[in-house]
């Protein structure tokens, strides 16, 4: 027990120094920080209720946030482990929220498509719209075209897209939103010009 307490004290004294070195981009310090804290931070992710299959992804995203935000750490405001734990906890909670939320854009699209007001006499000209939409989508950069196809045609989740593209879930959502807004604008402009 005394040995565990001594190790904990050494770790708590060492972490602020490591974070300071990490903030200047020192990879060795980051590796040591990771080695000293990963077991404890793993327990936090599990305590939040993350599925065992998701723990490593959540930890990876958390450590990336720690790496990127190490310059923001202020030892006068919080102990290093508490600061890191908050990042891990919030990342895990965000991950759980995303997994529990349906893809609202797709749900909304399905509601519109099955609206009771729609009739067989719908005056939307699909034959005219299809080539316009194809042309607009073809002009998208390959990565955005692929992202849209995976999200809206294949139904891949935002979390899965985040892992596939190697970016945070929030970035995936932003990319999708901006891409769809741009596609809509370009389609309307092309339709008006035709």
pLDDT recorded at residue 1: 46
Cα–Cα distance measured from residue 59 to residue 156, given in angstroms and rounded to the nearest whole number: 22
* pTM given for the model: 0.50
130 DSSP 8-state letter: H
pLDDT recorded at residue 192: 84
Cα–Cα distance measured from residue 131 to residue 14, given in angstroms and rounded to the nearest whole number: 62
Residue 29's nearest CA partner among 15, 41, 40 is 15
pLDDT recorded at residue 8: 59
**In this structure, are residues 147 and 172 in contact, taking their beta carbons and an 8 Å threshold?**
yes
pLDDT recorded at residue 91: 93
For helices 169-193 and 80-100, angle between their N-to-C axes, nearest 10 degrees: 50
pLDDT recorded at residue 3: 46
One digit per residue, the tens of pLDDT, for the chain of length 194 reads 444 554 555 566 899 999 999 999 999 999 999 999 999 999 999 888 888 888 999 999 999 999 999 999 998 888 999 999 999 999 998 888 877 655 555 555 555 555 555 554 456 677 788 888 888 888 999 999 998 888 877 778 888 899 999 999 889 999 989 998 888 898 888 888 87
pLDDT recorded at residue 80: 92
Q: How many CA atoms lie within 13 A of 34 on its CB side?
A: 17
Q: How far, CA to CA in Å, does 21 sit from each of 15, 28, 29, 191?
A: 10, 9, 6, 56
């Amino acid at each position: 027990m005394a040995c565990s307490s001594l190790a904990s004290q050494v770790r708590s004294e060492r972490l602020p120094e490591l974070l300071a070195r990490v903030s200047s981009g020192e990879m060795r310090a980051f590796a040591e920080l990771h080695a000293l804290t990963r077991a404890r931070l793993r327990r936090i992710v599990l305590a939040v209720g993350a599925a065992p299959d998701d723990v490593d992804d959540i930890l990876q995203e958390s450590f990336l946030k720690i790496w990127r935000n190490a310059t923001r750490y202020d030892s006068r405001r919080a102990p290093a482990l508490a600061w890191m734990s908050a990042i891990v906890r919030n990342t895990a909670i965000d991950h759980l929220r995303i997994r529990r939320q349906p893809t609202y854009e797709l749900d909304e699209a399905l509601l519109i498509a099955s609206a009771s007001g729609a009739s067989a006499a719908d005056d939307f000209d699909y034959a005219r719209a299809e080539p316009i939409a194809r042309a607009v989508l073809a002009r998208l950069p390959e990565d955005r075209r692929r992202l849209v196809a995976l999200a809206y045609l294949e139904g891949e989740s935002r979390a899965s897209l985040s892992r596939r593209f190697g970016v945070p879930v929030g970035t995936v959502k932003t990319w999708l939103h901006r891409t769809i807004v741009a596609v809509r604008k370009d389609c309307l402009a092309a339709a008006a010009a035709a």
